[in-house]
A and B are shown apart, each in its own frame.
Chain A
Amino acid sequence: MRARRIPYARLTIALVAIAALSQLHAQSGPITVLSRDGRRTLPAVDVQGHQMVALDDLAALFQLQVRDDAAAGAITATYKNQTIVLTPNQSLVSASGRLVSLPAAVIRRGNRWLVPVEFISRALAPIYDVRLDLRRASRLLVIGDLRVPRVTAQYDEGPASLRVTFEITPRATALVTQAQGRLVMRIDADALDASLPPPPQQGLLRAIRATEPNTIQMDLGQRFSTFRASPPVSSGAAAVITVELLAAGADTSAAAPDAPAAPTAPVAPVAPGGDLPLLGGGARPSVRTIVIDPGHGGEDTGVTGPDGALEKDVTLAVARRLKSSIEARLGMRVLLTHEEGTRVDADGRAAIANNNKADLFISLHANGSLRPSVRGAVILTLSLDRVGEDARRQSQADKAVLPVFGGGAREISLVEWELAQAAHLDGSNAFAGIVDQKLRTTGGLPSVTLQRAPMRTLAGTNMPALLIEMGYLSNPDEERMLTSTGFQNRLALALTEAIAAFRDYVEHGPQIAPAP
């Protein structure tokens, strides 16, 4: 019995060793180095969870003079009279006299010294005369001033469509063309740092990948019929581009007349967003009730301008003018979340909109910056973190069809109260695009920015919603503008026109929405 156990034990040890080695191999992988000279690879290995590179590889790549001073118990790496001192088995190194901490110690493997990959950004970059940008997550090292934006993709499935939302950071322009069974998005950049999850397999998009040097290639499935793409929309430092793939037999009336049916057609400029959630069973969707939220209020005064104007007074004044304008011009029902002297918390504001079955929620604010020269309006929609994205997917998956009085049925989305906005982001972004255009034209605002951020007031609203920072109260010129009757009336008119355009968009589809 004893003699038979030993081979099993050996076999077990061997299997564990093979598994460990294969895991090590799976975690290892070279780092791609991008520079004006082209694309190279820098070998890297994983040692106890740390990505390590060989010092002699770095020496060859960056023209370092490496000297192993065994007597002093140190290794020196010199670049143009600047020296980095490394100590074996220590994670602290000295870069031109400054102590730098590394996530793992400098170790010897065979006849080579290995350092954590962070050595490049923390120790080498400060003494190097060309910019070194290490992107550890994507195993990318950019040398010099190359334009290498990060590109991410997110998918939203519909019954006969697939919306792919690309976020390009920092902003870059892009062109989408169709050729030989695929869509190609060419981004104005030197290279791409792309993170593209596999698409859902519904027959519209078979695969997606980044190809050198600057294109995203989308292989189309057998159900694909046509596509439409939005022009880039600014979101902070990022540009957001939406490409919607439509199935054969789907209602393609929403596609713009000049949608790119022919190969190499340019991006068709249509409004962002797509199908809006139906508000009731069989009832034609429309916009009938608006809730306007004057930002801050009561003891919460918000921003104070250099001449003493209070944000809460500005927002309430514009809200009242907007209410009158909508009621007079559009005949809609308009509610304010609060009147003078009252303070309502974020959930209370959302509850007023939800309980009154509002079709639109607009929160009005005035902005503040520590740099008084900053000016311009900002339109914000909700951005979702991982929890919010889960809620959004859940809202699309967990739908119940309930009978309604008078016949028919109503589709109900099940979503957490505090993340109700997750199901309405398409409508919110579409409305934001329309408001952007109206603020520039009717409102006469030269600078309007669209952004996405985790806005507290918007999170719980169960309808398309956005927050508008009408201008910077911290800027003396914009303080005078925001408090003037003429500007407030112009702003109210611009928003009224935007609401009218959004009503048309909801009732007739996105094809009649004005191009941003």
Chain B
Amino acid sequence: MNAMNAMNRMPGGFAVYVALAGMLVAGLIVLLVLGPRWLTTPPAEDAEIPAASAADVRKIQARLFYVDEQGTGLAGVEQDVLYGESTAEQARHIIEAQIAPAPAPHISAIPPDTKLRTVFFTTTGEVYVDLSADIQTNHPGGTTNETLTVYALVSALTSNLPAVTGVQILIEGREVDTLAGHLDLRRPIEQDLKWITN
């Protein structure tokens, strides 16, 4: 009531307040929205954003493997993975997806920051997966963790690519005894379904 009375008493002053508020809002819009656009270099008029080629967006569904609810096995999860023109390229895309952070609510068995260096095939269907040293240095240890790390990689390839007979894990281009002191990695590891619980 008091405020209404005050405004009724000062009609000219109210109009001034409204005008000032409008100018303030307009200034903020200029500062926060248009300002950054002016400060960046505009794209050349004739430059077009290249359209994604068909190969870039092609995806397949692959079964990737994460730590299961019990924490002692692997659960298979269907996920979109980039399409590869060759089996080796497809294997690379599958491993890249497998070592990427797990989508919620899953837990990845692969230590964080692990990077894929290269993948190559032998004529007998064995795949050599060369990973960065992060898979060893960031590994939490324990037979269970190590088993799930190794078989997540092995299962991702053997489940999705029937031509794969075994997976040899290399670190920084070299054969290793183990990842964390337990599983024998001197020879290619074959698929073992007992670690997959669904």
Contact = CB atoms under 8 A, between A and B. Distances in A.
A186 to B, nearest CB: 22
A367 B72 CA distance: 11
A369 B71 contact: yes
B144 A368 contact: yes
Interface stretch (B12-20, B40-48, B190-198): B190-198
Contact of B145 (A237, A370, A383, A454): A370
- Chain A at the B interface: mostly helix, strand, loop or mixed? mixed
Contact of A473 (B142, B166, B181): B142
B143 A136 contact: no
Given A99-B83, A169-B194, A370-B109, A454 B72 contact: no
A126 B178 contact: no
Interface stretch (B2-10, B23-31, B53-61): B53-61
Given A98-B59, A371-B71, A454-B184, A236 B143 contact: no
Nearest to A449: B72
B58 A92 contact: yes
Interface in B126-149: 140-145, 147-148
A378 B143 contact: yes
Given A101-B83, A126-B61, A386-B190, A369 B144 contact: yes
B107 interface: yes
Interface residues on A, range: 35 or more
A453 interface: yes
Contacts of B113: none
B181 A302 contact: yes
A237 B76 CA distance: 15
Interface in A1-54: none
Interface in B96-117: 107, 109
A309 interface: no
A385 B187 contact: yes
Contacts of B166: 385
Given A369-B145, A374-B70, A474-B142, A456 B178 contact: yes
A303 B178 contact: no
B2 to A, nearest CB: 62
B109 A455 contact: no
Contacts of A235: 194
A459 to B, nearest CB: 6
B181 A456 contact: yes
Given A378-B143, A385-B187, A370 B72 contact: no
A370 B107 contact: yes
28 contacts: A92-B58, A92-B83, A95-B61, A98-B80, A99-B58, A100-B60, A237-B194, A237-B197, A238-B194, A296-B181, A303-B142, A311-B142, A346-B177, A367-B142, A367-B143, A368-B142, A370-B148, A371-B69, A371-B107, A374-B70, A378-B144, A385-B190, A387-B187, A454-B189, A456-B182, A467-B182, A469-B144, A472-B144
